[in-house]
Structure formats: C-alpha cells, structure tokens
Chains A and B, each alone.
Chain A
Amino acid sequence: MVNPLALSRYILLMLLALMPLAGHTQANIEIDTPAIISLEQRMQQRHNQLNTYYARGAVGLTRDGLIAMRDANELPLSARQSVNALIAAENQDRNALYREIARANGHPEWEADIRSTFAQRWIELARPGWWYQSASGSWVRK
C-alpha cells in the first residue's frame, strides 16, 4: 500500500528537484551525491513523524528553510523534549543538505541562495493549515 504521506513527500522532493534556482540557473538541485541521498532518506523517514506536528501547529516552517517549535502548548509536556530533539535533528540535516547541494555543484558560496530557494518552496508546498514564518518573522497559518 502506498503511504500517502511518503508519496506526498516524494512529490515534494521531485518538485524541488525540478525547480531552477533563481539567479543561478546552472545550479543543479537534483544533483545526487551519496551524502544528499542519505540526507533525503533520513528526512523522508522523519517527515512522517513531523507531519502531525505541522498539522497541529506545534511546529512551523521558518523563513530560513528550517523548522521551529511554534507553539509547544499544542503538545503534551512529556512530548515537548522529544519534539525538540526531532526539530534539532531535522535542522541539522536541512543545513547539511543545503551545504551539500552547493558543494556538489562546485559552488559552496551558493549555499545561502539554495537555502532561501528551498525556504520559499517548502512554504509553497506546505499543506493548508500548516504554519510558516512570513518575511517579517511572524507566524502565518496557510
């Protein structure tokens, strides 16, 4: 049976992979290095867990291509520590992904552009009801 969450994630990655980078049309976002493949696999696995927290509004998408605890009150006390750890792990992988895509393109200095392009696309592809940070830093419900 196809897991709809995994499928949506897959589609999301495909879309991200196909999109040209603004200002750097030569940057190849679908570039595959073993590092990128392993990061994407880990992020895909984690996404299933994060999904429910996005939907509840506990976790939101930040304007710098990461995720953050938006409102811990949406979670039972006993879950707050582990969700914090999940967020930290996801952000570690996201940072590594942006760095690695830039490096694989042979342009480590593109990291900031790759990050901001991803940040926009994560938000565009977020589901209705999820929270994201606007350009001013305030939280907005999609």
Chain B
Amino acid sequence: MRKLVKILPSFFIAISSAYAEPRITLSIDDFQSIGSPALNSKDIHVSLTGPRASVLEIKLGEIVVQGTSWRNLRFSCGDFQVAGGVVQCEGGTLTVSASTPLPVAFKFSATDKTLDAQIKPTPNEASAGWRLSARWGGAGWEGQLTVAEGQLGHLEGLLPTKGGEAVPSSTRGKVNGKFKLSGTADGMAEITANVVVNELAFSDASGLHAGENIGIEVNANAMQVGRRKDRRWEWQADANWLRGEVFWQPLYVVGEGYRFSTEGDLDDNLIRVNKGKLSLKDIGEMDFAGAIDRSTAALHDVDLSGDNLELAGVFSQVLKPFLVNTPFAELAAEGRAGIQWRFRNGAHQSINLHLHEAALDDGRGSFAFRGINAHIPWQVQGLTQASISVRSGQFGKLPIGEVHVPLQIDGPNFSIARMVVPVLDGKLTLEDFNASPQVQGGLKGWQWQFNGALSPISMQKLTEALGTQSMQGTLSGEIPGVSYNGSTIEVDGALLFRVFDGTVKLDNLKVLDPLGAAPSLMADLDMRNLDLNQLTGTFSFGSMQGRIDASVKGLELFDWKPVKFDASLRSSEGDYPRRISQAAVQNISSLGGSGAAAAIQRSFLHFFEQFGYLEIGWSCSLRNGICRMGGIESESLPHGYLIVKGGGIPAITVIGYNRNVDWDELVSRLQRITQAREIKPVFH
C-alpha cells in the first residue's frame, strides 16, 4: 500500500513476558490515511495472547470508511495461526455495537494470494451462510461472495450508523445469490449481482415506511469506465418485485407483477438513469430517464412518459390515498391516459396529459363525466391551450350534454373565456372563469370565479330530473359574479329566476364549506307576483287563485336543511281574481295543527266550492326548530292571527291561533297534504 499512514498522537506497543504466555498489545488513539479521507479509525486496541499467541482480539472504537461510520467493532479469534505465509482463524466472532456475535472463519494465504472468509450464523446448516473467496495476482484481483439463506437480520448490527441511529430501524430477510467482484490496486472495477431476497421485511421506527414478506429478484451489473478524470460507473439493473406488501405513507402497494429495468451511470455528483422502464400491474408501462444529486439525494432531472395507462389503476393505486378527506376521496376513473413529464434542475418544466375515452365518477352522486377526450399541455412559463371534450355527464341528478372546454393555462392559472353547458332543454353559459392557487391569507387550496347565464330550462323537465313535485314554467336567469375563496362560495349580486309566472330573486347567497362534511348556505329570497293557481296546482294544495309575494330573509341551511329564516308571504298588489277552494281552506287550517282552529262559517260552507278573499298573509320565523307564525300584519287580532281575510260573496276568513309550531312537524304535515292526490274537505 502506497498510502502513508499517520498515527496520532499516542502510540505504544508493549510486549510483556512476565509469565510464560507472550502478550502483545497495540493501542492507537487516532489513525488516518493521509491525502484521502476515505478511511480513518479511532481508539484501536489489538492484542495477541494465549499459548503461541493464538488468541487475537481487535477492538475499534470507530471506523469511518468513505463517510460511513461503524462504532464499537470487535473481532476475536480463539484459534489464530500464522505459519508459512498463511494467516488463518477458526472460531472467530465479529460484533459491531450491540449486534449478535457472528461466527467468522478466514484463511489468508500470501503465497497462493487467496482469501477465503466465511460467516456461518447457524452452524447446523452447513450450506447456509456468507462466503467470500478472493484471489489476486498480477495487476488485478477478483472475488465472489456467495450467499445461501443469508439472514439480513444478522447484518443489522453491522449496518453503518447515521446520526447515531441505524437506518432503517429493522430489516429481516433471506438472501440467496452471488456477487462477483473484480478490481485492480486502484479499487473495484466491476460488480455483478444475481440475488433473490425473500421474506424481506423492513420498517422505520414510526412504522410509516415499512414492508413485509417481500420477494424480490435483482440482477445488476456495474463497471468502472473512463480515465482518471472522468471515471464513472456504468450500470444496469433489473428488478422484479415478486410478492409482498409495502406501506410508504400514504401509499400501500402489494407487489405482484411490478418490474423495473434501468441502465445508467454514476459519477461523484450524479446518479444518472439513461434509460429506464417501469412496468406496473393494472396501470401499464412507463419509460423514464433522469438524474439524482448524490449529495442531497434530490431529483435533478426526470423525463417520464407513459402511453396507454389504465386510469382505473392510476386512481385506485396511486392517487386515491392522496385524496382522502377531500371531496374526491371516492373518485373512480376509467379509460386510458398518456403522460409526458419533464423535470429539469429540480423544477417542473412541462406536463402533457392525454385522456382517451375516460370517465370520472365522484362516487357520491355529486358529479360524473363520460366520454372525456382531452389534451392538456402545461408548461412552467407561457400560455398553453387545452382542448377537453366531455360527451355527457351529470351534476347531482341533473344530466348535462356534450361540452367543449376551451381551457387556457398560464403556469398555475387556469381560465375559460366562455363555455356552454347544455342542461336539459336549456343551457348554462359560463364566462370569464378564472382559477388559481390561493396566494394570500391563511386559506389553502384554490380560488375561482366566473359569471354566466342560464337560458330557459323547462321546470317540468327540471323537476322530473330532480325527482321532485312536477312544476310548470321555466327557469332562467343571469348569474352575476360567483367566487370561491377556498372555503366559501359567494355570489356577488342577485340571481334572478322566472318561475310560476313571477320572479324569484336570490340575494346574498353564500355557501360555506360547499364540498365538505358540513356545508351551510345563507341567502335572502324575494319572490314577486307568483301565480297561486300554478303554485297550488303544482303542490296539490287545493286550488287558489291570485298572486302572492313572498320573502325569506336570513335563510340558513345546514346540510341543506333549514335551521333559521324569517319568511313571510302576502297577496301581491294589483287587481286580479282572488278565489280560494274549500280544500285549500282546510289545508291552511290544518297546518296550524290540532290546536289551531279556523273560524269558518260552517253553516253554509259546504254549499260552496270556492270563496272570495281580500288578502292572504302568513309568516314564519324559524328559530331552534320552532316556527313562530303570524298572519296579515295590518290586521292584529287579540287571540290569534288572520291568515285569510274574506271578501266578496261567499267570503271566508281563516284565523290561526297556534303561534308556535315544531318545524319538522309542520314540514311533515305539508308533505302529507301535498302528497295526497285527492283532497276531500271534512266538515264537522
């Protein structure tokens, strides 16, 4: 060895022969190879004792080889012999830190230029163990490490320490195979490994990165090429993951049919993959290339491309664990996808995504899209134009027709100038849609806004699709600015709809946590000139003629159920026929509950089908599940409230007496009434 050895600072050899047994001890505090930090060692004690100096003890406090350290290394050999150029040891043991002592034997022959070393952890099994045979001569050397049923657990204590802790924290497994090594005086030149590892298990201390019962087959070769200055390793490796499971938070993968083959090179700075292929069961094949920075273990460059990937597998195996507790947790996908990803100098450069006949379903009935064909290019800088088409879909129970999405992408910002979504027989037009990641405030996630319009949708078709009471009329309206800030949808301005020949204005609309577990909605509703005939006909309430205005102020829904509002309805201003049927009178009366009485002129009521009225008024303030009811405001009564004020001949007056009614009870009464097909008034 040409390297100089520097021994610092205290050093002594003591040979004592006070007794018959010779004793040689050597202690060195610090030992460094000069000119290269490749090897240094501290706190070295060597002793040779026993009859014919046959008992060897070596203790190393710490040894550092190329930045990797081992502590408290101890080797002892009870039968150590040096004779005729042969150094050999039988029955030796090797211990590192607190590892289990490993039985070691070796024979070194300077004349034959061979080394034969064995680790036999289980003496019973003659064939099991680790065996290293090496020979040298001329300019080179070669060696072979043969492993038969080699237990990785035995090596656990032998693993180097990083920051005082062994990494990973526990590893088990059986190794079978061969490693061939060859080299020159300058070091290793070639390594070939053909190894099968079975029953491999590993885990870090937290158990969040762990594997069990893994079977893996690795065939790899690495060769050193180039002259001194540009020396590097060229390598190729094939790995076949045969069985076993891995949990790498949050991914859980059962290995079966996963193959990995790569070739590349390695120099002082980078591990480069020039050509790699990854084959994943139920997903497909991907080609990749790239480089990893050796000092930081960070990705430097990546090129990844895959065509014809199974979206179902990509979602269920890769994306799903990342979508837990989002509105997309149950999302399922079908169809095929292609991806090209370019990553340079630690940053994303571009992603190209293709979807072919894909389908998405959120699994909760909120949305589903079918027949998605798309090309979505993205690049770190500059505008790109995506083309997305969706053949059909569904929002809740509402079917939507074919949609083309002219999506413009500018880095992290997405925009759509205008798109039209056919909904039943009408259409929803979205304009000036913009979405971007949240940049300020404590809210994470996305923000977006748009405005638009709804062209007439037949209420009959809409109610049919929603499975609710059939209604007449049309729904149309302007949609002013709608925005989402990561947690709340707010509508800037009023939504206007035309239904029941009147208008409905939805104002101050706000939806908190719209896609979360506890969505709540706040709004004010103002309805004008609704045609009572259409309205009551729709809900089988008993026919009424006339027009009403209604307002619902401070409406709050939680989980889409009302928890608070101040509602009132009254006859609209103007001149129009005002008639009310017997059935409607009965129903209005019964809404007040058993305690509510209607002051009905019973004596002649049953002679008439219809009555005239002057005014209708009713109010309900919902608080804590109780609806506090009132009647026509201007007509205060001492005990009760006037709901229908009679007028004309025959006239009818309806008075409510019960002011507080349980809301759920009121709703179920209303449901009973409106669901009854045929209403027969009952007279007492």
A residues sitting closer than 8 Å to B (CB atoms) are: 33-35, 38-39, 42, 69, 71-75, 77-78, 80-81, 84-85, 88-89, 92-93, 96, 100
A77 and B206 in contact, given A34-B559, A35-B558 (Cβ under 8 angstroms): no
Residues of A within 8 A of B561 (CB): 34
Min CB gap B321→A, angstroms: 6
**Chain A: which residue is nearest B169 at the CB level?**
A73
A33 and B210 in contact, given A39-B518, A81-B321 (Cβ under 8 angstroms): no
Is there an interface contact between B563 and A34, defined as CB atoms closer than 8 Å?
Answer: yes
Is there an interface contact between A85 and B324, defined as CB atoms closer than 8 Å?
Answer: yes
Is there an interface contact between B517 and A96, defined as CB atoms closer than 8 Å?
Answer: yes
Is there an interface contact between B252 and A38, defined as CB atoms closer than 8 Å?
Answer: no
Is there an interface contact between A33 and B212, defined as CB atoms closer than 8 Å?
Answer: no
**Cβ 8 A contact of A38, one of B246, B329, B518:** B518
Is there an interface contact between A84 and B324, defined as CB atoms closer than 8 Å?
Answer: yes
Min CB gap A131→B, angstroms: 14
**Chain B: which residue is nearest A34 at the CB level?**
B558
Q: List 14 A-B contacts (CB under 8 A).
A: A34-B561, A38-B558, A39-B517, A39-B518, A77-B212, A77-B247, A78-B245, A84-B249, A84-B250, A84-B324, A88-B324, A92-B325, A92-B517, A96-B518
B648 within 8 Å of A by Cβ?
A: no
Convert B553-580 into 0s and 1s, putting 1 for each residue whose CB lies closer than 8 angstroms to a CB of A. 0000011010100000000000000000
Which B residues between 501 and 527 are near A, CB-CB below 8 angstroms?
A: 517-518, 520
Is there an interface contact between A77 and B246, defined as CB atoms closer than 8 Å?
Answer: yes
**Cβ 8 A contact of B559, one of A38, A89, A92:** A38
Which B residues between 429 and 466 are near A, CB-CB below 8 angstroms?
A: none
Other A-B pairs beyond A81-B252, A84-B249, A96-B517, 20, CB < 8 Å: A35-B520, A35-B559, A38-B518, A38-B558, A38-B559, A72-B207, A72-B210, A72-B247, A73-B210, A75-B207, A77-B210, A78-B247, A80-B210, A80-B252, A84-B324, A85-B324, A88-B324, A88-B325, A89-B325, A93-B517
**Cβ 8 A contact of B249, one of A42, A80, A89, A93:** A80
Min CB gap B554→A, angstroms: 15
Residues of B within 8 A of A100 (CB): 518
CA distance A16 to B207 in the complex (A): 33
CA distance A80 to B247 in the complex (A): 7
Is there an interface contact between A35 and B518, defined as CB atoms closer than 8 Å?
Answer: yes
In this complex, the member of A39, A75, A81 whose beta carbon has the largest number of chain B beta carbons within 10 angstroms is: A81
Size category, B interface: 20 to 34
Residues of A within 8 A of B520 (CB): 35
CA distance A116 to B203 in the complex (A): 34
Is there an interface contact between B247 and A81, defined as CB atoms closer than 8 Å?
Answer: yes
Min CB gap A84→B, angstroms: 6
Min CB gap B648→A, angstroms: 44
Is there an interface contact between B517 and A85, defined as CB atoms closer than 8 Å?
Answer: no
CA distance A23 to B247 in the complex (A): 45
**Chain A: which residue is nearest B212 at the CB level?**
A77
**Chain A: which residue is nearest B209 at the CB level?**
A72
Min CB gap A70→B, angstroms: 9
**Chain A: which residue is nearest B557 at the CB level?**
A34
**Chain A: which residue is nearest B558 at the CB level?**
A34
Which B residues between 278 and 312 are near A, CB-CB below 8 angstroms?
A: none
B208 within 8 Å of A by Cβ?
A: yes
Is there an interface contact between A77 and B252, defined as CB atoms closer than 8 Å?
Answer: yes
CA distance A33 to B564 in the complex (A): 11
CA distance A85 to B245 in the complex (A): 19
Residues of A within 8 A of B518 (CB): 35, 38-39, 96, 100
Q: Tell me what chain A mostly uses at the interface: helix, strand, loop, or mixed.
A: helix
Is there an interface contact between A77 and B321, defined as CB atoms closer than 8 Å?
Answer: no
CA distance A33 to B623 in the complex (A): 11
Min CB gap A102→B, angstroms: 14
A80 and B563 in contact, given A35-B518, A35-B520, A92-B517 (Cβ under 8 angstroms): no
CA distance A130 to B569 in the complex (A): 57
Is there an interface contact between B208 and A69, defined as CB atoms closer than 8 Å?
Answer: yes
**Cβ 8 A contact of A73, one of B207, B249, B252, B325:** B207
Residues of A within 8 A of B211 (CB): 77
Convert B208-242 into 0s and 1s, putting 1 for each residue whose CB lies closer than 8 angstroms to a CB of A. 10111000000000000000000000000000000
Is there an interface contact between A77 and B245, defined as CB atoms closer than 8 Å?
Answer: yes
**Chain A: which residue is nearest B245 at the CB level?**
A77
CA distance A96 to B324 in the complex (A): 17
Residues of A within 8 A of B321 (CB): 81
Min CB gap A68→B, angstroms: 11
Min CB gap B362→A, angstroms: 17
Is there an interface contact between A33 and B563, defined as CB atoms closer than 8 Å?
Answer: yes
CA distance A96 to B517 in the complex (A): 9
Residues of A within 8 A of B208 (CB): 69, 72, 80
Residues of B within 8 A of A81 (CB): 247, 250-252, 321
**Chain B: which residue is nearest A76 at the CB level?**
B212
CA distance A29 to B561 in the complex (A): 23
Residues of A within 8 A of B207 (CB): 71-75, 80
Min CB gap B677→A, angstroms: 32
Residues of A within 8 A of B251 (CB): 81
Which B residues between 305 and 341 are near A, CB-CB below 8 angstroms?
A: 321, 324-325, 329
CA distance A71 to B246 in the complex (A): 16
Min CB gap A75→B, angstroms: 7
CA distance A93 to B207 in the complex (A): 25
Is there an interface contact between A33 and B558, defined as CB atoms closer than 8 Å?
Answer: yes
Min CB gap B626→A, angstroms: 13
Min CB gap B536→A, angstroms: 30
Min CB gap B210→A, angstroms: 6
CA distance A28 to B252 in the complex (A): 43
In this complex, the member of A39, A88, A93 whose beta carbon has the largest number of chain B beta carbons within 10 angstroms is: A88
Residues of B within 8 A of A39 (CB): 517-518
Min CB gap B40→A, angstroms: 36
Nearest 7 interchain pairs by C-beta = A72-B207, A73-B207, A34-B558, A81-B252, A85-B324, A77-B247, A88-B325
**Chain B: which residue is nearest A97 at the CB level?**
B518
Residues of A within 8 A of B252 (CB): 77-78, 80-81
CA distance A69 to B210 in the complex (A): 15
CA distance A78 to B321 in the complex (A): 13
In this complex, the member of B211, B251, B321, B517 whose beta carbon has the largest number of chain A beta carbons within 10 angstroms is: B517
In this complex, the member of B321, B324, B329 whose beta carbon has the largest number of chain A beta carbons within 10 angstroms is: B324
Min CB gap B249→A, angstroms: 7
CA distance A89 to B518 in the complex (A): 12
Residues of B within 8 A of A38 (CB): 518, 558-559
Residues of A within 8 A of B558 (CB): 33-35, 38
CA distance A81 to B208 in the complex (A): 9
